Amino acid sequence: MVAKPVILCVDDEKIILESLKAELRREFAADFDVETASSGEAALTLAKELLYDGTNLMMVISDQNMPGMKGSDLLAQIKSLSPDTHTVLLTGYTDLDAVRDAVNLAGLFRYLSKPWKFDELGFTIRQASRDHAHQHRIREQKTRIRSLTDSMIYALEAANQQSDEDTYSHIHRVSLYSAALAKAHGQEDLWVERIALYSQLHDIGKVGVACQLLHGPEYFTDREIELQKQHVYYGHLILSADGIDEMAANIARYHHERWDGTGYLQALKGEAIPLEARIVALADVFDALTTPRSYRKPLSFSAAFDELLTLSGTAFDPKLVEIFRSLRREFESIHGSVRTDAPQLAGSSFNRDQPATSKG
Ligand SMILES: [Fe+2]
Ligand SMILES: [Fe+2]
């Protein structure tokens, strides 16, 4: 049986604590377990134990005015231990400073004045519970997506083993560059989070062509060049499964399209290319320019930066290139912080993530 979420009640006055517990049990016994503590210190110890055991600590309701640790301090500490826990402060008098502290430091969900009206408290709990369940679902979903993405990245790394590209650092930088561009473009936080995650899968389709390429990128036959372009098709196919965010498939499918319509495979033009793919295309090419390959030396950061600026309106969305220009420092620090291992000698390899100036 799955343990119920817990509401922890904290008050130094025994009578109040008992009546709070009794009211909550009467009303919510089916949905929650109710725990109590008679001081901030005891509550903190108990909360740590519960969280350590994996208990879902849905809510902490605390009196403000207690000897020792104050309610607002307790709730602030609870919030830093467990950001998803909803905190409610009970104040016996109008203690505005405490409420202000609790709101600012403890991300207070509600404050109720003592004596509380049970309707109000009940309403607060039901509302918090809905909110909590929603957050819980989102977190679970994120964890699932994260681990799915990680396994795909492992698969890609395995497929790329023969290549001279350091897959891990490449996708890490592409993810950071893409997120920086998306943020500066004014996309909301969740969108930025999604592109940071899914940009890591832009080349996942390479697992579909890896075994068909016999030569290193510097010796690709014409057929192999055409074949490796198909990685965008395979990537799209892999990521088009039900339940996978459409953004992931768009990035895989369109990250080699060019603003002027001369990219592959669809030859889409301008804003017909989804924004996420336009962003990742820029990040990907910039990173390729600065990365050593067995068949060419990398450009310096400055040279790559200037080179990319010349591709505005041809390879890339001019608006994004302007944003890129404004992010020079940020790109420089990402470039410096995620290092690439020196390339190995070219073996059998398919992995030529060509600069936008070439079409191979
Ligand atoms: Fe690619
Ligand atoms: Fe790439």
User: Can you tell me the distance from the alpha carbon of 36 to that of 227, in angstroms, rounded to the nearest whole number?
Assistant: 66
Q: Which of 1-15, 87-101, 318-332 has the highest mean pLDDT?
A: 318-332
Lowest mean pLDDT among 99-108, 180-189, 332-341: 99-108
Which fold would CATH assign to domain 163-337?
Hypothetical protein af1432 (1.10.3210)
Q: pLDDT of 212-257, one tens digit each?
A: 776 677 777 888 888 889 999 999 999 998 878 899 999 999 999 9
- pTM value? 0.69
Is 319 among the catalytic positions? no
pLDDT of residue 162: 61
Domain 6-135 top-level CATH class: alpha beta
Residue 306's CB: how many other CB atoms inside 10 A? 11
Ligand 1 centroid–CA 129 distance in Å is 44
Residue 234 or residue 98, greater confidence: 234
What mean pLDDT do residues 49-73 have?
Answer: 93
Q: What number of CA atoms fall less than 13 Å from residue 187's CA on the CB side? A: 20
Q: Is the CB of residue 101 less than 8 Å from the CB of residue 27?
A: no
Same fold, 6-135 and 163-337: no
Backbone angles phi, psi at 7, to 5 degrees: -110, 125
Q: Is the model's pLDDT at 342 over the cut of 60?
A: no
What mean pLDDT do residues 19-28 have?
Answer: 92
Lowest mean pLDDT among 39-53, 135-149, 181-195, 344-358: 344-358
Ligand 2 centroid–CA 286 distance in Å is 10
What residues flank ion ligand 2 with Cβ within 5 A?
203, 284, 353
Q: Is the model's pLDDT at 112 over the cut of 90?
A: no
Burial track 152-177 (b if 16+ CB lie within 10 A, e otherwise): bbeebeebbeebbbbbbebbbbbbbb
Domain ranges of the chain: 6-135, 163-337
Q: Name the token pair of 296.
A: 């060419």
Give the closest ligand to the alpha carbon of residue 287.
2
pLDDT of residue 138: 84
Ligand 1 centroid–CA 59 distance in Å is 47
pLDDT of residue 320: 98
Task: Specify which residues 167 forms β-bridges with.
Answer: none
Q: Is the model's pLDDT at 356 over the cut of 60?
A: no
pLDDT category of residue 341 using cuts at 50, 70 and 90: low
Ligand 2 centroid–CA 243 distance in Å is 24
- The single residue of 206, 229, 269, 297 carrying the catalytic annotation is 206
Q: pLDDT of 277-311, one tens digit each?
A: 999 999 999 999 998 877 778 899 999 999 999 99
Q: pLDDT of 319-339, one tens digit each?
A: 999 999 999 999 999 999 887
pLDDT of residue 353: 40
Residue 214 or residue 349, greater confidence: 214
